């Protein structure tokens, strides 16, 4: 068993929701790939904002506005430092990963021509498929799919063969939300750049498990949602290289993103405000920074080591159940296990687990093409975080056995 530098019992005390019961049973929360839980330290930051300095930012000369502005911009710097981004104005606050992806897709509308090609991987979340389909419909560009294999890994040889001077954009998730696969994004980025293509990486599922160094990766765009990494919902970030952010047109028009407005002409504000129209989620941005502080206080090396142990243990114990199949057996993966039991619909298993106080996700996980590839209706997905325990894994396995006995 891996020795960890943090005390799991102490960490669990940071998460008030873990004390509640569901259907008379202690909550076992294994739906972390959908959203992580929020520690008291972040909750306190949210409460303090609304109690002490709730105000609109950037526009006020009064004390509360200045305090809110300072805290919000300090959070931007925390994000910059966490992801090793060169400049704070390359961090754009968004409502989440989906917003960031659509911002980029909208911006490329004027840059693509009929016959240009856009590549996406076969294991994308719908939010990294649909915006590119819409972009291709607007521009006449062609969407092509990087294939995957039975293990849930991209077929990299075919990806390299797909690259040509007609490929303008490549989109790939860093980690698959449905399978847990960690994709070789550095190889994808370098090969795409060599072919003259730009790259957007969906980092939503990677952020809780991998501290991405965006300068080292040399990626053009990278998107993250705070609620995957112990922060609140409704806030995220888009990283874009300065050269690209200057080239792309604004996504939305309104207050804050302007330099000067007349009825004859409007000029736009400098980065990052050019892409941040309207009143932002001020509290969410500040809490995003607090969540990163919390995660870094524990340490990502420790988190990864602990979660990998949970993944290995849960995988070995679940596979002892006859008829259980795990989808996504990549050599590199995060703490996600998608599985089915032969002859049982995943929804029925998930319903019984809920009755026993265990929260998992069932369905296609907004990754329907993956389910179509495996010719299944969906999976049961148990996704682990650093506040889960081996004892919870044991209870999950026992509950899955009970569900199987009840349903077969």
pLDDT for 309-356, tens place per residue? 999 999 999 999 999 999 999 999 999 999 999 999 999 999 999 999
- Read off the CATH number of the domain in which 347 is found: 3.90.1150.10
d(CA 369, CA 23): 34
Is the predicted pLDDT of residue 25 greater than 90, yes or no? Answer: yes
Tell me the C-alpha to C-alpha distance, in Å, between residue 145 and each of 121, 162, 351.
Answer: 5, 9, 34
DSSP state letters, 36-80:
----HHHHHHHHHHHHH-----SS--SHHHHHHHHHHHHHHHHHH
Q: Whose structure tokens read 């080591």?
A: 305
- The answer to whether residue 37 is domain-embedded is no
In a domain, 92, yes or no: yes
Distance CA 366, CA 144 (A): 19
Range of the domain at 244: 43-296
Residues 58, 25, single domain; the answer is: no
Residue 38 lies in a domain: no
Q: pLDDT tens across 33-43, in order? A: 999 999 999 99
Tens-digit pLDDT profile for residues 365-405: 988 999 999 999 999 999 999 999 999 999 999 999 999 99
Tell me the pTM. 0.95
φ and ψ at 91, to 5 degrees?
-100, 115
Kindly state whether residues 115 and 184 are assigned to the same domain.
yes
The DSSP symbol for 182 reads B
**Shared-domain flag, residues 64 and 24:** no
Tell me: do 258 and 375 sit in the same domain: no
Count of structural domains within the chain: 2
Task: Lay out the sheet containing 361-363: strands in order across.
Answer: 324-327, 336-341, 379-383, 361-363
Same domain, 290 and 197: yes
For 206, list phi and psi in degrees, rounded to 5.
-80, -35
Residue 23 lies in a domain: yes
Instruction: With a cut of 90, say whether residue 60 has pLDDT above it.
Output: no
**Residues identified as active-site:** 366
Return d(Cα 164, Cα 162) in angstroms, integer. Answer: 6
- For residue 361, give the 3-state DSSP assignment: strand
């Amino acid at each position: 068993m891996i020795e960890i530098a943090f005390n799991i019992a102490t960490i669990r005390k940071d998460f008030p929701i873990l004390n509640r019961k569901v259907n008379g049973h202690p909550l076992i929360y294994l739906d972390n790939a959908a959203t992580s839980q929020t520690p008291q330290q972040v909750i306190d930051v949210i409460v303090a904002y609304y109690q002490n300095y709730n105000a609109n930012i950037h526009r006020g000369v009064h004390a509360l506005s200045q305090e809110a502005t300072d805290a919000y911009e300090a959070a931007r710097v925390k994000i910059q430092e966490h992801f090793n981004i060169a400049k704070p104005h390359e961090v754009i606050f968004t409502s989440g990963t989906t917003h960031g992806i659509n911002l980029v897709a909208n911006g490329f509308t004027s840059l693509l021509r009929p016959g240009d090609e856009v590549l996406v991987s076969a294991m994308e979340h719908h939010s990294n498929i649909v915006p590119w389909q819409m972009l291709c419909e607007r521009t006449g560009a062609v969407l092509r799919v990087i294939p995957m294999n039975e293990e849930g890994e991209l077929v990299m040889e075919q990806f390299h063969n797909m690259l040509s001077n007609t490929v303008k954009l490549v989109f790939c998730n860093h980690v698959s939300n449905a399978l847990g696969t960690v994709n070789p994004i550095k190889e994808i980025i370098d090969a795409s750049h060599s072919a003259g293509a730009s790259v957007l990486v969906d980092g939503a599922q990677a952020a809780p498990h991998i501290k991405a160094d965006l300068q080292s990766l040399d990626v053009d765009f990278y998107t993250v949602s705070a609620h995957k990494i112990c922060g609140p919902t409704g806030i995220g970030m888009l990283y874009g290289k300065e050269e690209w952010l200057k080239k792309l047109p604004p996504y939305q028009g309104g207050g804050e993103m302007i330099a000067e407005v007349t009825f004859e002409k409007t000029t736009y504000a400098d980065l990052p405000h050019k892409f941040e129209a309207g009143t932002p989620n001020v509290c969410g941005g500040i809490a995003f920074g607090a969540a990163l502080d919390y995660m870094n206080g524990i340490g990502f090396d420790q988190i990864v080591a602990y979660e990998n142990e949970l993944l290995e243990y849960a995988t070995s114990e679940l596979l002892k159940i006859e008829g259980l199949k795990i989808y996504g057996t990549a050599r590199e993966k995060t703490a996600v296990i998608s599985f089915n039991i032969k002859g049982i619909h995943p929804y029925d298993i998930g319903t019984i687990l809920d009755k026993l106080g265990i929260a998992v996700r069932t369905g296609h996980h907004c990754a329907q093409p993956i389910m179509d590839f495996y010719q299944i209706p969906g999976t049961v997905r148990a996704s682990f975080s650093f506040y889960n325990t081996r004892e919870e894994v044991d209870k999950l396995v026992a509950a899955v056995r009970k569900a199987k006995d009840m349903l077969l």
